């Protein structure tokens, strides 16, 4: 890729990330928190500066990119920089193998659409003030009303990284018992957290994965997180988020419709990510 072209792409990517992350950086300077938008940075721990750094992905040689000669997993020769695929596979083979297996297993299963986002409700079920994750925001139905919603529904959370934040009182109410070790056997594409995790798998395999795909996955994860918290028990109308009232038939229908569309989009990203990953990567050296 000619230098003028890739530098234009890198600048456009950085500008897009700057726009998407400006609020996060401003809040950090002011010491403020946002229960929706900060999640992708705090939970996934991929900094805005890392997201803003553009990578073409494997198989592309960048002319005039001498500054990348000392970048991790890059090689520079003949005036061109490119991702060193052999080095990446040698050092990150286990990660590639895990992601391949997880994405393939997820794609092999139908989505399940009966959870209605109750994982967020289970995280505050019968909780005291210190245990509520977003304590600065009121519960839309109050303490008793929130607990009654959990008790009136079947909780069926399949994602360990949501389930592990359930209150002790909520754990036995979950029809499923996901574990870290059982993630490969339980991951399914209807899960909102699994959809957000596509972004995690993209950035964890940087720079093998092109930044265009990582940014697309980030945008999708932002949309999913918004639904996640609109369907949560918190009242976030002050921030401009109208609740999805999953305690009603209308709210359930709204949630499932959005969930199905996110499943379609996240599966598309999973297939595209799988196409980029080497088959049968050898274990890390």
φ, ψ for residue 80 (rounded to 5)? Answer: -130, 145
Decide: residue 218, CB within 10 A, 0-12 exposed, 13-18 middle, 19+ buried: buried
| Nearest residue to 121 (alpha-carbon basis) of 266, 251, 216 | 251
Q: Which two tokens stand for residue 84?
A: 């060193």
CB-based burial, 151-176: b 16+ in 10 Å, e otherwise: eebebebbbbbbbebbbeebeebbee
Map residue 152 onto helix, strand or coil: coil
Cβ atoms of 113 and 260 closer than 8 Å:
yes
Nearest to residue 159, comparing CAs of 197, 130, 125, 215? 197
State the Cα–Cα distance between residues 206 and 197, nearest whole angstrom. Answer: 15
What does pTM read for this prediction?
0.94
pLDDT of residue 282: 65
Low-confidence ranges of the chain (pLDDT < 70): 130, 282-285
What whole-number distance in Å separates Cα of residue 18 and Cα of residue 176? 40
Q: Where is 77: in which H helix or E strand?
A: strand 74-77
pLDDT at res. 283 = 56
Q: How far is CA 85 from CA 74, 152, 278, in A?
A: 8, 52, 9
Q: What is the pLDDT of residue 157?
A: 96
* Token pair 């799988």 in the structure block, residue: 274
pLDDT for residue 285: 47
Distance of CA 30 to the CA centre of its chain: 25
* 117 contact partners, CB below 8 Å, separation of at least 6: 192, 227, 228, 231, 232, 244, 246, 255
Count of C-beta atoms within a 10 Å radius of residue 192: 25
């Amino acid at each position: 890729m000619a230098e003028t072209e890739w530098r234009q792409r890198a600048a456009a990517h950085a500008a897009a990330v700057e726009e998407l992350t400006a609020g996060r950086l401003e809040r950090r300077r002011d010491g403020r928190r946002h229960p929706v938008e900060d999640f992708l940075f705090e939970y996934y721990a991929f900094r805005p500066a890392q997201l803003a750094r553009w990578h073409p992905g494997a198989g592309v040689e960048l002319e005039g990119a001498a500054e990348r000669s000392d970048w991790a997993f890059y090689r520079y020769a003949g005036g061109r920089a490119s991702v060193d695929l052999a080095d990446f596979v040698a050092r990150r083979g286990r990660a590639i193998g895990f992601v391949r297996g997880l994405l393939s297993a997820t794609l092999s299963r139908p989505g399940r659409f009966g959870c209605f986002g109750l994982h967020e409700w289970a995280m505050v079920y019968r909780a005291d003030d210190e245990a509520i994750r977003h304590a600065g925001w009121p519960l839309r139905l109050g303490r008793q009303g929130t607990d009654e919603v959990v008790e009136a529904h079947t909780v069926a959370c399949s994602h360990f990284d949501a389930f592990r934040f359930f209150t002790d009182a909520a754990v036995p109410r979950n029809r499923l018992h996901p574990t870290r070790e059982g993630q490969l056997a339980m991951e399914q594409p209807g899960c909102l957290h699994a959809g957000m995790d596509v972004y995690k798998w993209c950035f964890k395999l940087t720079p093998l994965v092109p930044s265009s795909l990582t940014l697309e996955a980030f945008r999708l994860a932002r949309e999913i997180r918004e639904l996640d918290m609109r369907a949560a028990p918190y009242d976030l109308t002050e921030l401009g988020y109208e609740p999805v009232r999953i305690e009603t038939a209308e709210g359930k229908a709204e949630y499932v419709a959005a969930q199905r569309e996110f499943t379609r989009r996240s599966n598309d990203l999973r297939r595209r990510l799988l196409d980029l990953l080497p088959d049968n990567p050898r274990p890390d050296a």
